[in-house]
């Protein structure tokens, strides 16, 4: 039996997911990270992307996030997401709406940092949309 790591996904509105997982893959700012029980403690910013929680062999729960932070300990992963949506519930129409929102964020960006963040989110949304 594989050791499991506790995984909590929290958005500003609510706790979205809380379950033990064999592995959680998160979109770290420096690249994708796979986290399993016994992982070295760390804190990381997250880029827009997909979190994949492997609950059991062959069973995954996936969530699209627009960014946030992750805290990892040997026993737990906590993701504080700016916005998170179960991937299974995203429709093409929802993604199209999010793409429009991201384009508006680019148009209203007041700094280079805001522009870079909005551009990265838009790029990821477009890739996700084309994969549907």
Q: What is the pLDDT of residues 33-42, one digit of tens each?
A: 999 999 999 9
Paired strand residues for 59: 56
- Are 115 and 107 in contact by the 8 Å Cβ rule? The answer is no
**For range 77-103, the mean pLDDT:** 90
Query: Which one has a higher pLDDT value, 38 or 2?
Result: 38
Residue 1 has pLDDT above 60, yes or no: no
Contacts of 38 (CB under 8 A, 6+ apart): 3, 74
CA distance 46 to 57: 26
User: In the predicted model, what is the mean pLDDT of residues 48-55?
Assistant: 91
Looking at residue 125, what is its pLDDT? Answer: 85
Question: Residue 29 CB: number of other CB atoms within 10 A?
Answer: 13
Q: How confident is the model at residue 90 (pLDDT cuts 50, 70, 90)?
A: confident
Secondary structure class of 98 (helix, strand, coil): helix
């Amino acid at each position: 039996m594989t050791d499991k790591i506790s995984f909590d996904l929290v958005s500003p509105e609510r706790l979205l997911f809380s379950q033990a997982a064999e592995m959680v893959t998160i979109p770290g700012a420096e690249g994708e990270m796979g986290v399993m029980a016994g992982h070295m403690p760390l804190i990381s910013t997250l880029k827009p992307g997909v979190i994949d929680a492997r609950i059991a062999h062959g069973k995954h729960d996936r969530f699209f996030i627009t960014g946030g932070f992750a805290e990892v300990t040997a026993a737990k992963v906590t993701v504080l997401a700016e916005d998170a949506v179960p991937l299974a519930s995203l429709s093409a129409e929802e993604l199209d709406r999010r793409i429009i929102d991201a384009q508006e964020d680019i148009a209203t960006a007041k700094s280079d940092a805001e522009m870079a963040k909005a551009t990265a989110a838009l790029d990821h949304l477009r890739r996700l949309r084309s994969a549907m």
